[in-house]
Amino acid sequence: MVNFPHNPTRYFPSRQDFDRIIEIARAHNLYLFSDEMYYLLEYDSSDRLPATVEVYDQAVSLFGMPKTFGMAGIRLGWVVTKNRQMLGKC
């Protein structure tokens, strides 16, 4: 499980470190759950990492509108994965 940008530290890895996380997951055929609730809130958009589900077939990405778009009253979010079996479990 990863969380970038991280709450509360705002930490996110370099693209090289992010790719290494993906390589490790791929090498061991692991599921990788990525909490991306703060996606799009990077200080510098050029530092933005791709959604994990875009680069790894065994990834599960979680995103929603309340935090990123300041819509606390709107409880709208989604789970995205390319893995049909995992999606069925969700």
> Residue 57's domain is classified under what CATH number?
3.40.640.10
Tell me how many domains the chain contains: 1
Q: Is residue 18 part of a domain?
A: yes
Residue 71 lies in a domain: yes
What residues make up the domain containing 32? Answer: 2-85
Euclidean distance between CA atoms 27 and 56, whole angstroms? 11
What's the mean pLDDT when you consider all of the chain?
Answer: 90
pTM: 0.85
Whether residue 52 lies inside any domain: the answer is yes
Residue 7 has pLDDT above 80, yes or no: no
Alpha-carbon span 72 to 9, nearest angstrom:
20
The predicted model gives 16-37 an average pLDDT of: 96
Tens-digit pLDDT profile for residues 44-61: 888 889 999 999 999 999
Structural domain contains residue 16: yes
Q: How confident is the model at residue 20 (pLDDT cuts 50, 70, 90)?
A: very high
Spatial distance between the Cα atoms of 17 and 70, rounded to a whole number of angstroms: 29
Q: Is 90 contained in some domain?
A: no
